[in-house]
Amino acid sequence: MYSLLGFLITVGILVTLHELGHYGVARWCGVKVLRFSFGFGPLLFSRRFGRDQTEWALSAVPLGGYVRMLDERDRRDDEEPIAENDLSRTFNRQSVWKRIAIVGAGPLANLLLAILLLASMYMVGVPGYQPVLSQPAAGTPAAASGLQSMDRIVAVGGRSVMVWQDVNQRILNADITSEAMLTIERDGRSLKVPLALAVMTQDDGMGNPLERLGLHPYAGTMVRGVIADSPATAAGLRVGDRLRAIDGAALDTPSAVSRLLSHAAGKTVELTLVRDGVTMTVPVVPRQETDESGKTATRIGVNLMGDPEVLERHLITVRHGAIDALVMGAMRTWDLTVLSFKMIGRMISGSASLKNLSGPITIADYAGQSIQAGFQQFITYLALISIGLGVLNLLPVPLLDGGHLLYYLAEIIRGRPLPERAFEIGQRIGLALIVTLIALALLNDFSRLL
């Protein structure tokens, strides 16, 4: 229910703002707007308003919307000829620069909305965890760079970072064939550490890119649940136990447990833990198990989470004044827009997996989760999807706004519009690409569900 509600709210707000961008600039340029539709397909309800008697309509399929402008190329056989005094108000007779402004206004409206939403969050205060590292796993780029547990990242590529989200964004925006220069604080000293990013070219679409680099938050490890008839039960582990080490190797994040147990099936390991303020060591014999997908792993039978006390120490709220918040919102929107185009380029080149592509089912799922998580999370999610919608529409694919902008660029270069044949071919290519993308996105959605 939350997913459906979140999806409808998200699509409703973002598509409406997108189409209002087209509508507003079209009116400003003197173009007559015939219909503003919320949704596609058969009309459910409509009313006419204003001097031009624009039809405001609600359609049956709530997965988008459109603005229909007066255009000599878009006349149906059952419609009256365009009146002589309206010819100057047709879209096709506007200068190429006005047409560019009208078409580009939709994606621009989405990006401006993202700036305002993110700015409002920066003013209210955005909670996040300080980028304090756990011990990197051996063999990862972070370990090769000499990064250590409790190192705090303060800058990436010379740009300051305050929370893990900043680190993730800076690294994803970096040249993954090169390295990122991290500035860290360690024992009161400031150090610069180069981090090789080449491993990120092996993207399989699964997991967090930072984890492949060996960058994990320092979160501590607490037992959230103990599985019946498991090695953990035999060892007497309890919910609330704070795990500190396995055979002397520190456990500063839950993900370290499976890594340290990976080669210990059938062997006794010494598990150091803190219970009710008392430190103790208990022997545990992990066992190898096979899950439903056929994958094997060495486990002791516990469900883990970060230690709330550790996480609380690293939690901060970042707030800014109105001007700074707008600047931060604009910078964040720019960074995410650039990152989106880079990810698309990486998927096309094969350096990033096509599994990164998400469709309406995943969007609905995350929308529902963000609504349940609270108002701030939903507003932030709305901003991210608004950026995604803006970027998607700017792609140079016929049928999308970016495809029309590409036509107009060609018109500027040629000095005259492209022939109708070019538009027809482009429409077919664009339709094929869009159908393929939708099918691939839906396939990824169902794969995640399964």
336/144 Cα distance (integer angstroms): 29
86/93 Cα distance (integer angstroms): 11
Cross-strand pairs, 66: 37
Q: Does residue 248 come out as left (phi exceeding 0), alpha (psi in the -120 to 50 range) or beta?
A: left
Q: Is residue 80 flagged as an active site residue?
A: no
Cross-strand pairs, 222: 242, 305
Burial of 274 (0-12, 13-18, 19+ CB in 10 A): middle
Q: Note whether 193 and 180 are within 8 A (CB).
A: no
DSSP annotation of 194? E
Burial of 266 (0-12, 13-18, 19+ CB in 10 A): exposed
56/67 Cα distance (integer angstroms): 10
- Beta-carbon contacts of 95 under 8 Å, excluding residues fewer than 6 positions away, are none
91/423 Cα distance (integer angstroms): 16
Q: Give Rg (Cα) of the chain.
A: 27
DSSP for 335-376, please give it: HHHHHHHHHHHHHHHTSS-GGG---HHHHHHHHHHHHHH-HH
Which residues form the catalytic set?
19
